Structure 1
Amino acid sequence: MATDERRSYPEALERLTAAQKPGAGVPAYLRWVNRGLGRRAAAVAYVARWSPNQVTAVSMLLSLAGMVVLAAVEASVVSAIAASVLLLAGYALDSADGQLARLTGGGSVAGEWLDHVIDAFRLPLFHVAVTVYLLRETGSLALAGIGVAFSVLASAWFFAQTLAEKLAPGASDGSTDAPVWVSFAKLPYDVGVLYLIVLTAAWPAVFLSAYVALLVITAAVAVLSMGRKYRGLARSKVAVAAHRE
């Protein structure tokens, strides 16, 4: 691609819109809000000639900033809004890097690996920030332990999903044909919802109630999802070398 090529935001946005992934079966916030925000951010990054990896890096920096505000700043309406906005902005850019890679043809295996590694850090770290917040606001180790439990669950589920995709890349759960209501049914364990409830962090009791509810729902769905993936892999024809000690 020529370095003197003129790039326009409207053209980039039009091309990105035409190249969107199917939305069926995708959680509602990710499907109708986050991908749209990411698309606009990717168009801006394209005009500014940023690389997908640069967008990934800024995404993680924004997420970390939101976590620091949540964990270290005294709970207030202002700090809650700031933390939530930073986390949601980081989430939007997490969608933008892949869209920018498709637009520029600059995607690579290394870039995809980096994106997955950043994601593997991002969500567990969010729950660590929640753990610190809960300990500071409630003074209870037991309540703070809820954040630790959610961190372990998030990390294990992310690994299980990613590994299943790598072991059986051709497998499909049929989500591309899912009706619209499925996206709303998946809303409670959409990462965007986790970041939205940070808006209630000025009121620890309200935040804790919402957080525990999401933990229970996420745990139930994770158990069902991992069981389904295990059964699917057990039925698959994919063979791998065994290296058990």
Structure 2
Amino acid sequence: MPAEPAVDERPAAPVPDTYRQTLARLRAAQKPAGRGAPAYPIYVNRRLGRFIAAAAFRAGLTPNQVTAISAAMTFTAILLLALVPPTFLLGVAVTALLAAGYAFDSADGQVARLRGGGSAAGEWLDHVVDAIKSSTLHGAVLITAYRFLVPADQRGWLLVPLGFMAVSAVSFSVFLLNDLLKAARSRRDTTSVIRTGSTPLRSLAGAPTDYGVLVYVFLLLGLPGPFLVVYSLLFLAHLGYLVLALPKWFRDMRSLETPA
């Protein structure tokens, strides 16, 4: 799910007296979850991001600085994954860095709201980082699998991270395109209804397709067999979700068309 847009240049609002008051402001301004949004971003990552955002805001950090911290953590993990032989400790380090980067990714948009709103430049930067992350992470899996995990007579498995890379790129692009078209339509036609909000059942059903779940698969790096199996199952879940969702999203776009 694309992260919340950031802002950089707007002046910060007056800082509340306490950290707790800052958290209260964030809770009050929290956006509703997208329809069918997975459970991890709603119930875990958004809350972690809220604590980070409150601290970052009070420390005077801008949203783009928070985005840069997120990117540094994420791409450090990706480089470690690609370059270092897989072990249990490496898996823990990669997972911790990816999870922390994801939490900071949620925090930048929340800092933006504390500072008065988002900007096009901040949103662009946030989405560019997400686009790079969504592809290079699977590229790193491809590299480490080729170098360390997959025997020469089983190299056909390398098609899995290649496929995962393609599915991630397409999914990310379509998510953004859906949001842009719906937003453009809602500005032209005030009678348009954009359905928002999620339910626990929808959130749990979408859990296998969430980046927050993928992050924790890397705890299995020290166990090549289980890692390859679980990673493959997640790829199938992402692929199946995309194949089933594309017709539905097409119908959604058709419903936005103005009747002749």
Question: Normalization by structure 2: what TM-score?
Answer: 0.85
Cα separation, 1, equivalents of 2:200 and 2:163: 31
**Partner SS, residue 168 of structure 1:** helix
Alignment-derived partner of residue 236 in structure 2: 216
Q: 1:109 aligns with which of 120, 128, 150?
A: 120
Q: How does 1:12-31 map onto structure 2 within 5 Å?
A: 12-23=22-33, 25-31=36-42
Contact 1:75 1:202 in 2 (8 A): yes
Cα separation, 2, equivalents of 1:130 and 1:118: 18
Alignment-derived partner of residue 70 in structure 1: 81
Contact 2:13 2:116 in 1 (8 A): no
Alignment-derived partner of residue 226 in structure 2: 206
What is the Cα deviation at residue 113 of structure 1? 1.2
Q: Which has the higher contact order (CA 8 A, sep 6+)?
A: 2
Alignment-derived partner of residue 105 in structure 2: 94
Contact 2:39 2:204 in 1 (8 A): yes
1:183 aligns with 2:203: yes
What is the Cα deviation at residue 200 of structure 1? 0.6
Cα separation, 1, equivalents of 2:72 and 2:206: 27
Q: How does 1:51-200 map onto structure 2 within 5 Å?
A: 51-136=62-147, 137-140=149-152, 141-169=155-183, 170=186, 174-176=195-197, 178-200=198-220
What is the number of equivalent residue pairs in this alignment? Answer: 238
Cα separation, 1, equivalents of 2:237 and 2:12: 50
Q: What percent of counterpart residues are identical? A: 37
Contact 1:167 1:238 in 2 (8 A): no
Cα separation, 1, equivalents of 2:40 and 2:58: 26
Contact 1:157 1:226 in 2 (8 A): no
Cα separation, 2, equivalents of 1:8 and 1:108: 27
Cα separation, 2, equivalents of 1:31 and 1:160: 21
Unaligned runs of 5+ in 2: 1-10, 187-191
Contact 2:53 2:107 in 1 (8 A): yes
1:235 aligns with 2:235: no
What is the Cα deviation at residue 50 of structure 1? 0.4
Contact 1:38 1:92 in 2 (8 A): yes
1:75-134 CA distances to partner (integer Å, 9 max, x unpaired)?
111110000000011111110000110111152111111111111111111111111111
Change (3 A) 1:238 1:208: farther
Cα separation, 1, equivalents of 2:88 and 2:75: 19
**Partner SS, residue 21 of structure 1:** coil
Question: Normalization by structure 1: what TM-score?
Answer: 0.90
Cα separation, 2, equivalents of 1:121 and 1:232: 27
What RMSD, in angstroms, separates the aligned Cα atoms of the two structures?
Answer: 2.1
What is the Cα deviation at residue 168 of structure 1? 2.6
Cα separation, 2, equivalents of 1:172 and 1:132: 45
